[in-house]
Amino acid sequence: MTTSPRFLSVKNVADELAITETAVYTLLKTGEVPAIQVGPKRVWRIERAKLEEYIERQYAAAREAIAKGQVTPEVDEE
């Protein structure tokens, strides 16, 4: 049985969200995604549960914006 790690690196989060590491650092800086710094090099680690909470908030915000007619879903060309 394989379990997911509790904490993710900035690179892991960037890969999961399909964004750049710079964008992840922006999320950390703004507090949108809470994180901790660990070890002598003070590397950032993001708890998987906090990342999932962020994702759920983003889904809720998107649903609300769509319901209010503020945005319309578009085809992602990637």
Q: Taking 70 as the threshold, does the pLDDT of residue 1 lie above it?
A: no
35-59 pLDDT tens trace: 999 999 999 999 999 999 999 999 9
| Contact predicate 34/24, CB 8 Å | no
Flag whether the pTM goes above 0.85.
Answer: no
pLDDT at 70: 84
Report the distance separating Cα 30 and Cα 75, nearest Å.
28
Among 40, 30, 34, which Cα is nearest to 13's? Answer: 34
Question: Residue range 8-26: average pLDDT?
Answer: 98
The set of residues, in sequence order, having a beta carbon less than 8 Å from that of 47 and lying 6+ positions away, is: 6, 7, 8, 34, 35, 36
pLDDT at 4: 85
> Across all residues in the chain, what is the average pLDDT?
92
Assigned token pair, 7: 């904490």
Within a 10 A sphere around the Cβ of 65, how many other Cβ atoms? 12
Domains, the chain? 7-67 (1.10.1660)
